[in-house]
Amino acid sequence: MTGKAASEALRLEGIHKAFGGFIALKSVDLAISRGELVCFVGPSGCGKTTLLRIIAGLETQTAGRVIQDGRDVSNAPPAARDYGIVFQSYALFPNLTIRDNVAYGLVNRRRGRGEIDARVAELLKLVGLPDSGAKYPAQMSGGQQQRIALARALATAPSLLLLDEPLSALDAKERERLRGEIRQLQRRLGVTTILVTHDQEEALSMADRVVVMNHGVIEQVGAPLEVYERPATPFVADFIGKVNVLNATCLGSGRYRVGQVELDTPVNGIAAGRAVRLYLRPEDRVLADGGPLAGRPNLLQGAVRNVDFLGTFCLATIDVDGFDGQSMLVYFSLNQALELGVREGVQIPFALRGERVRVFPAAAS
């Protein structure tokens, strides 16, 4: 076994899944390392849950192989694979106490009662609910139930943990708290984890690597920052975070014309005369609060049409002069907004950070 294979927890090769005429997954390839937390993220219907269920053996792929710890489990039933799973609905057994729920998989392994009790106590402590063994699931809050589901899945010490939208049934505060807890727990135990979510924020904040999916294919795999800063496709740029899309024409040598304005970006291979789209994050700009803007490249100015106040920051829609009606979302921290007097109708100058611009051919999206 090579070093690479030894550190590999899971490998998917050419996974294909069709439900009748509908193709849910198209030849998906992916390798996951030991101890990694990987998030499958994408809009509903993108195939992320199907892929998770194939890894769990709850669905059978139409073609392709699933290799776990070097063992081909492509056709193994769920019970012959090694994983723990947590569902969005928790699926806790309502008529069993918390203790019996957590011990559910242990009892079957013919361990002694003392050993089981010790393990249950250990797990309940791990998820921060040490004294709840005698309660029933219906007596606990959603977040607590989710922790119990996690403890139950971890009880048999599986080498792989599968989380299917585990936080989407919770309210916003509880969700944010559990994000951090799950992440810490996963780091501490070092268990390889796959988390499926439609929430890109959740994916970015929790994952070691993000797998962005759409229409049954993987659009991009990468670290959260990488996926955010260098989206591989227009879909990823659009799905992860907020983005401005500007219709432009390539002038060659990294120059583009938007409306009557010319923008400078690093040189790439796109031919002059081609219609393109420029993708820019709202924060890819320099404002006048850091010093004078004069002399900077890509200097623009425009009237604020609308300001969305979002707590510690705000997003202003600016009708940029010379853009021929194309507007841009621009990010202001609350302090910047106050210092620069961002209000409806005010003219705001700013410079675009050309090096951050992503260029895609217009036909692609």
Partner 1 sequence: MPRRLSLLTELLVARGGVVLLALALLLFLTLPLASLLVRSLEDRGGGFVGFANFATYFASPAFGNSTTNTLVFAALTTLFTVPQAFLFAYAIQRSCIPLKGLWRNIAMIPILAPSLLAALSFIYLFGNQGWLKFVIEWLGFKTVYGLPGMVMAMSFSSFPHAVMILLAGLALSDARMYEAADSLGTPGWRKFWTITLPGARYGLISAALVVFTMAVSEFGVPKVIGGNYSVLAIDVYKQVVGQQNFSMGAVVGLVLLLPAVLAFFIDSAVRRRQKALLTARSVPYSPRPQPLRDGLLLAYVVLISGVLLLVLGMAVFGSFVKVWPYNLSLTLNHYTYGFEEAGVGNAWPNSVMMAAWCALAGAAITFAGAYWLEKTGIEKSRFFGWARPLAQLQAMMPMAVPGMVLGIGYIVFFNSPANPLGFLYGTMAILVLSTVVHFYSSSHLTAVTALKALDNEFESVSASLKVPFYKTFWRVTVPVCLPSVIDISRYYFVNAMTTISAVVFLYSPKTTLAAISILHLDEAGNVGAAAAMATLIVATSAVVTAVFFFVEWLLVKKTQAWRRGTRS
Binding site for partner 1 (CB under 8 A): 56-60, 77-81, 83-85, 87, 89-91, 93-96, 104-105, 107-109, 135-141, 152-153, 155-156, 158
Contact 258, 280 (CB under 8 A): no
Select 137 or 234, whichever has its Cβ closest to partner 1. Answer: 137
- 3 state DSSP class of 201: helix
Closest contact distance (angstroms) between CB of 332 and partner 1 is 38
Task: Locate 49 and state its tokens.
Answer: 């849950």
Q: Which of 164, 126, 166, 132 is nearest to 146 (CA)?
A: 166
Closer by beta carbon to partner 1, 124 or else 240? 124
The DSSP letter of residue 137 is G
- Rounded to a whole number of angstroms, the minimum distance from the CB of residue 121 to partner 1 is 18
E strands, 22-142, in order: 22-33, 37-41, 63-68, 71-72, 84-86
| Residue 202 Rama label (left phi>0; alpha psi -120 to 50; beta) | alpha
Cβ-count burial 328-342 (b if 16+ within 10 Å, e if not) = bbbbbeeebbeebeb
Task: Tell me how far, at minimum, the Cβ of 17 lies from partner 1, in Å.
Answer: 12
Closest approach of partner 1 to the CB of residue 30, in Å:
20
Residue closer to partner 1, measured from CB, 153 or 314: 153
* Distance (Å) of CA 79 to CA 12, 57, 85, 296: 19, 8, 12, 62
CB of residue 159 vs partner 1: minimum separation in angstroms?
12
The residue among 132 and 327 lying less far from partner 1, judged by its C-beta, is 132
**CB nearer partner 1, residue 101 or residue 200:** 101
